[in-house]
Amino acid sequence: MGTDGGDEQMQEPANCEERIFVSVRLRPLNGKEIARHDVSDWECINDNTIIYRNSLSVSERSLYPTAYTFDRDFSSDCPNQQVYEAGAKEVALSVVSACVFAYGQTSSGKTYTMTRITEYAMTYIYDYSQRHKEREFILKFSALDIYNESVRDLLSADSTPLRLLDDPEGTVVEKLTEETLQTGVILKSLYLCVKVRKCLNKFPFNSIMTVYLSMSRCILATQRQIGETSLNETSSRY
Ligand SMILES: Nc1ncnc2c1ncn2[C@@H]1O[C@H](COP(=O)(O)OP(=O)(O)OP(=O)(O)O)[C@@H](O)[C@H]1O
């Protein structure tokens, strides 16, 4: 797990507007692709634009768009910390409800990326609470898996699907385990437990982890959700 040890402030929202930040990360070629002498069809040409290097003829190419623009893109050799810093940190640390979500086809790197982003975000949130002893924090952690329209608690040995209930505050997952974190070691242990349970359950990693951060003198309660989904029905990993 990494932390930058910096002392940034949690981002206060300028107003209540909703913001969506869309970024793209290219996956490096895997062993099989390299053995086949495949070449990547996609290339980042700057921080915001990727191009499709298709095999169409020059005349055909003009029929199809080849450049796509996003808030940010990351090349296949971009380190995880940079992806977190530039693509997720601001969202993860905002003091309003925030969600970091990965979308892509199977084997595109959702689990790889989200696992690292989650670790960076959790470490930062915990370290931030430790650096600001003048404020009182309550950190709560829960993790759930959504698969085939069933919701399961990843912090519970009971894999019975949980019910979703409507609440004036939003949708609530009934009986979802919520652990209050006393130390960073417990945070890391809980996260490890989630990863192990996912392997045991053999679910694709379509999970949502939520870290609640309440500041008792600060009125605001923060909810961060980190999740991913696959475009395909089945995961490549099972
Ligand atoms: N940026 C990256 N750098 C190095 N390896 C990567 C990267 N992204 C993905 N991989 C590797 O590619 C493989 C597939 O990635 P991953 O399991 O994260 O895909 P996924 O999108 O979660 O797939 P699925 O939808 O099937 O669960 C893994 O072996 C992973 O380690």
Distance set, CA 25 to CA 22, 133, 164 (Å):
10, 36, 32
pLDDT at residue 116 greater than cutoff 50: yes
Percent of the chain with pLDDT over 90: 20
Q: State the total domains in the chain.
A: 2
Cα–Cα distances in angstroms (integers) from residue 162 to residues 99, 109, 128, in the given order: 21, 28, 32
- The ipTM of this complex is 0.98
Predicted pLDDT of residue 4 = 41
Pocket test for ligand 1, best of 27, 118, 229, 235 (most atoms within 8 A of CB): 27
- CATH number (domain holding residue 174): 3.40.850.10
Residue 219's pLDDT is 28
Q: What is the dihedral of CA 93, 123, 99, 173, to 10 degrees?
A: -130
Spatial separation of the C-alpha atoms in residues 64 and 117, rounded to whole Å: 34
My answer on whether 185 and 195 are in the same domain is yes
E strand or H helix at 213: strand 207-215
C-beta of 112 in contact with ligand 1 (< 6 A): yes
Tens of pLDDT along 166-213? 988 788 889 988 887 776 666 676 777 766 666 666 555 455 656 554
Q: Is 45 left (phi over 0), alpha (psi -120 to 50) or beta?
A: alpha
Determine the structural domain holding residue 187 and report its residue range: 79-230
Together in a domain, 60 and 140: no
From 78, 107, 127, give the residue that closes a domain.
78
Q: Please check whether residue 73 lies inside any domain of the structure.
A: yes
Would the annotation count 109 as a binding residue?
A: yes
Distance from the CA of 27 to the center of ligand 1, in angstroms? 7
Q: Is the pTM of this model over 0.80?
A: no
For ligand 1, the distance from its centroid to the CA atom of residue 18, given in whole angstroms, is: 30
71 and 93 in one domain?
Answer: no
* Most confident residue range from 25-39, 122-136, 144-158, 216-230: 25-39
Tell how far the Cα of 112 is from the centroid of ligand 1, in angstroms.
Answer: 5
Evaluate whether residue 16 is within a structural domain: no
Q: 58-108, pLDDT tens digit by residue?
A: 666 666 768 899 999 999 999 999 999 998 888 877 766 778 888 888 888
For the stretch 137-156, pLDDT in tens is 777 888 887 777 888 888 88
The token duo for 81 is 């910390």
11 lies in some domain = no
Ligand 1 pocket, residue 202 CB under 6 Å = no
What's the confidence (pLDDT) of residue 74?
A: 97
Average pLDDT for 41-69: 81
Atom 1 (ligand 1): residue with closest C-alpha?
27
**Average pLDDT of the chain, as a whole number:** 75
31 is in an annotated binding site: no
**Closest residue to atom 24 of ligand 1, CA basis:** 106
161 Cβ closer than 6 Å to some ligand 1 atom: no
Asked if 125 and 100 sit in the same domain, the reply is yes
Specify whether 67 is located in the same domain as 131: no
Specify the ligand 1 atom closest to the Cα of 114: 18
Pocket test for ligand 1, best of 25, 110, 112 (most atoms within 8 A of CB): 112
Residue 1 included in any domain: no
Q: Are residue 176 and residue 196 in the same domain, yes or no?
A: yes
Confidence of residue 18 (pLDDT cuts 50, 70, 90): confident
109 CB contacts (<8 Å, ≥6 apart)?
Answer: 25, 27
